[in-house]
């Protein structure tokens, strides 16, 4: 039998340390500050650089937010807010006290709801928007009452007050008449068959006062517009708007009051200071926090703001009011008048507002582009200066190590040389891989707790020689 020659194992080659051209850390040892007083100026310079970076980052975020608001703005312009004036009144006709008769069947009342914009436009202008263009729905709910009021369907008449009453006396098909089982009147805007009118008349037979609830749903209340809580509205200065508008306004409040501060408890080692910023909760913002039994929060993270605002926004509720239809007065016109805030309606051929927003967005984009251009031009110079600073830090640390070695050698040479030889022998043992540790011992956690300093030194030797 022929013996197969075993392949000869090549000796393990020792890898050379990886050359390091520049340091990865600019840490300055604390004892050097006593030897080199100028290092305190370096620390102040670094602190000023950090504050400048935070300031520039804030301004850049501000510019981004402004451009986003101008470009994708969905909320209305509050400088163009209009007011819709609503008049609610009742008219009594053929009542016994008016006709000097005992015939109750002839007595009727009419509930009139009308409105128009508070502006200088001529009432007869065909371009004037009608009351119905601002109302999405309307409901009239009669309160339950023990009476025997006769409701003659032939005499009921619900029609708009725009002068377009037809000969048959019928009302728009969106207006549902109450039946004997349902004493409610509803009207809903139909985009497929719009009806324009400046008011509604609801006429019924009756000789007694009637209590009812009037519900008016203005147009646009169920869209992006939301209602803010009193605490949030007091801080940002507006009571209605979008979610984006609430977050942006609260962020502006934080910046204007210098509530964005560095997080002293942050354990992050990142050089990005934006990740270490927290919001200081002042007396105003503390009202936004939920009520808790424990100690209230003193700081908030920026990512917690949207969740915080969710508890302070809700859909805009419809306008509800209780009203009494009076039959003991001929007319109550002018007794109940109120205004509703509505956005200004722009015609399709009107683009001035859109053009102004586009101009602002373009100016913001130009500023942001100029900022990015200047930043890209300065980046090579800043990188060169940063590299020089790192090299100087490396030289300072190297000189500090030499100073420590020779200073100890000058003070007490014999123990110093013994410690140096012992440390060198230990480093050689670590690099050769012959540590002499028992395998059963290193499996226990107590080994690492008792030899923490030795292990730390061994890791430093391996790192400095490129073995890890």
The angle that helices 413-432 and 452-464 make with each other, rounded to 10 degrees, is: 70
pLDDT of residue 112: 94
Q: Is the pLDDT of residue 84 over 60?
A: yes
The string of pLDDT tens digits covering residues 253-278 is: 998 888 888 877 665 544 444 556 88
Rounded Cα–Cα distance for residues 41 and 279 (Å): 29
Query: Domain spans of the chain?
Result: 81-145+180-218+319-343, 226-314, 413-465
The string of pLDDT tens digits covering residues 42-79 is: 888 888 988 888 888 877 777 777 776 655 554 445 55
pLDDT of residue 176: 37
Q: Is the pLDDT of residue 303 over 80?
A: yes
In this structure, CATH architecture of domain 226-314: Orthogonal Bundle (1.10)
**pLDDT-wise least confident of 66-75, 200-209, 260-269, 439-448:** 66-75
Asked if 152 and 94 count as a contact pair (C-beta separation under 8 A), the reply is: no
If DSSP codes are grouped into helix, strand and coil, which group holds residue 326? coil
pLDDT of residue 467: 60
Q: Give residue for tokens 């200065």.
A: 237
Span 195-223, average pLDDT? 86
**pLDDT-wise least confident of 64-78, 133-147, 326-340:** 64-78
Rounded Cα–Cα distance for residues 204 and 206 (Å): 6
Q: Is the pLDDT of residue 2 over 90?
A: no
226 CB neighbour count, 10 Å cutoff: 19
Rounded Cα–Cα distance for residues 204 and 327 (Å): 11
Q: Is the pLDDT of residue 338 over 90?
A: yes
Span 300-308, average pLDDT? 87
**pLDDT-wise least confident of 213-222, 299-308, 421-430, 436-445:** 436-445
The string of pLDDT tens digits covering residues 391-431 is: 888 888 888 888 888 888 898 888 888 887 887 777 666 66
Buried b (16+ CB within 10 A) or exposed e, 163-184: eeeeeeeebbebbeebeeeebe
If DSSP codes are grouped into helix, strand and coil, which group holds residue 155? coil
Q: Is the pLDDT of residue 91 over 90?
A: yes
Alpha carbon of residue 225 to chain centroid:
14
Rounded Cα–Cα distance for residues 422 and 317 (Å): 82
Rounded Cα–Cα distance for residues 244 and 339 (Å): 27
pLDDT of residue 390: 84
Question: Pick the residue with more confidence: 216 or 39?
Answer: 216
Rounded Cα–Cα distance for residues 90 and 200 (Å): 11
Under DSSP, the state recorded for 274 is G
pLDDT of residue 275: 57
Q: Which is nearest to 76 in space by CA: 231, 273, 226?
A: 226
What does the block give as tokens for 203? 């006429």
Rounded Cα–Cα distance for residues 455 and 286 (Å): 49
Q: Is the pLDDT of residue 313 over 80?
A: yes
Rounded Cα–Cα distance for residues 24 and 204 (Å): 87
Q: Which is nearest to 108 in space by CA: 141, 149, 143?
A: 149
pLDDT of residue 443: 74
Helix (H) or strand (E) holding 220: none
The pTM assigned to this predicted structure is 0.48
Span 244-257, average pLDDT? 88
Torsion angle in degrees (nearest 10) through CA of 184, 190, 196, 201: -10
Rounded Cα–Cα distance for residues 32 and 397 (Å): 9
Span 279-304, average pLDDT? 85
Under DSSP, the state recorded for 53 is H
Rounded Cα–Cα distance for residues 314 and 312 (Å): 7
Backbone angles phi, psi at 210, to 5 degrees: -125, 125
If DSSP codes are grouped into helix, strand and coil, which group holds residue 144? coil
pLDDT of residue 153: 43
Own/partner long-range contacts of 19-28 (Cβ < 8 Å, ≥24 apart): 22/387, 22/390, 22/391, 22/394, 23/390, 23/391, 23/393, 23/394, 23/397, 26/389, 26/390, 26/393, 27/393, 27/397, 28/393, 28/396, 28/397
Instruction: Enumerate the H helices of 412-451 as residue ranges.
Output: 413-432, 439-442, 445-450
pLDDT of residue 466: 62
Asked if 235 and 309 count as a contact pair (C-beta separation under 8 A), the reply is: no
Question: Pick the residue with more confidence: 221 or 204?
Answer: 204
Q: Which is nearest to 248 in space by CA: 55, 54, 66?
A: 66
User: pLDDT confidence of 24, banded at 50, 70, 90?
Assistant: low
Q: Is the pLDDT of residue 182 over 60?
A: no
What does the block give as tokens for 102? 């005992």
C-alpha triplet 286, 291, 297: angle, nearest 5°: 45
According to CATH, the topology of domain 81-145+180-218+319-343 is: Immunoglobulin-like (2.60.40)
pLDDT of residue 216: 92
- What percentage of the chain has pLDDT greater than the value 70? 68
- Mean pLDDT score of the chain: 76
Range of 157-171, 206-220, 342-356 with top mean pLDDT: 206-220
Asked if 215 and 188 count as a contact pair (C-beta separation under 8 A), the reply is: no
Please check whether the two domains, 81-145+180-218+319-343 and 226-314, share a CATH topology.
Answer: no
pLDDT of residue 71: 57
Buried b (16+ CB within 10 A) or exposed e, 325-348: bbbeeeebeeeeeeeeebbeeeee
pLDDT of residue 326: 92
Question: Pick the residue with more confidence: 355 or 390?
Answer: 390
Question: Pick the residue with more confidence: 292 or 299?
Answer: 299
pLDDT of residue 230: 92
Strand-pair category, 108-117 with 81-93: antiparallel
Q: Is the pLDDT of residue 365 over 50?
A: yes
């Amino acid at each position: 039998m022929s013996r197969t020659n075993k392949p000869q194992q090549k000796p393990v080659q020792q890898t050379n340390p990886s050359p390091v051209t520049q340091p990865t850390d600019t840490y300055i040892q604390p004892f050097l500050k006593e030897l080199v007083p100028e290092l305190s100026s370096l620390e102040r310079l670094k602190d000023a650089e950090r504050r400048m970076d935070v300031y520039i980052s804030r301004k850049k975020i501000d510019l981004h937010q402004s451009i986003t608001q101008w470009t994708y703005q969905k909320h209305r312009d509050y400088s163009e807010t209009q007011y819709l004036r609503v008049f609610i009144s009742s008219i009594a006709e053929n009542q016994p006290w008016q006709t000097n008769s005992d015939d109750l069947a002839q007595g009727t009342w009419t509930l009139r709801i009308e409105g128009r914009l508070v502006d200088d436009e001529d009432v007869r202008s065909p371009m004037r928007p009608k009351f119905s263009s601002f109302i999405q729905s309307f409901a009239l709910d009669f309160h339950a009452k023990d009476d025997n009021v006769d409701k003659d369907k032939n005499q009921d008449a619900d029609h708009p007050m725009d002068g377009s009453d037809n000969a048959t006396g019928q009302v728009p098909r969106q207006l549902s008449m109450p039946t004997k089982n349902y004493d409610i009147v509803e009207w809903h805007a139909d985009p497929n068959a719009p009806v324009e009118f400046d008011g509604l008349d609801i006429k019924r037979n009756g000789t007694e006062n009637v209590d009812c609830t009037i519900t008016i749903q203005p147009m646009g209340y169920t869209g992006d517009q939301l209602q803010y809580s009193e605490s949030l509205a007091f801080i940002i200065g507006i009571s209605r708007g979008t979610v984006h508008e609430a977050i942006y306004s609260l962020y502006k409040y934080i910046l204007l009051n210098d509530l964005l501060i560095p997080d002293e408890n942050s354990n992050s080692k990142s050089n990005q200071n934006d990740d270490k910023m927290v919001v200081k909760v002042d007396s105003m913002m503390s009202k936004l926090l939920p009520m808790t039994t424990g100690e209230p929060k003193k700081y908030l993270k920026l990512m917690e703001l949207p969740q915080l605002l969710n508890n302070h926004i809700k859909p805009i509720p419809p306008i509800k009011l209780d009203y009494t239809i009076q039959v003991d007065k001929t007319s109550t016109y002018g007794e109940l008048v109120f205004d509703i805030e509505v956005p200004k309606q722009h015609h399709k051929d009107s683009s001035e507002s859109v053009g102004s927003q586009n101009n602002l967005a373009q100016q913001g984009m130009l500023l942001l582009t100029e900022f990015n251009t200047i930043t890209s031009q300065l980046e090579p110079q800043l990188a060169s200066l940063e590299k020089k600073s790192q090299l100087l830090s490396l030289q300072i640390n190297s000189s500090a190590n030499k100073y420590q070695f020779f200073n100890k050698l000058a003070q007490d040479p014999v123990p110093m040389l013994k410690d140096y030889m012992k440390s060198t022998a230990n480093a050689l043992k670590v690099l050769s891989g012959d540590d002499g540790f028992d395998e059963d011992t290193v499996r226990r956690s107590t080994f690492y707790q008792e030899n923490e300093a030795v292990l730390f030194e061994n890791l430093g030797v391996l790192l400095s020689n490129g073995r890890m």
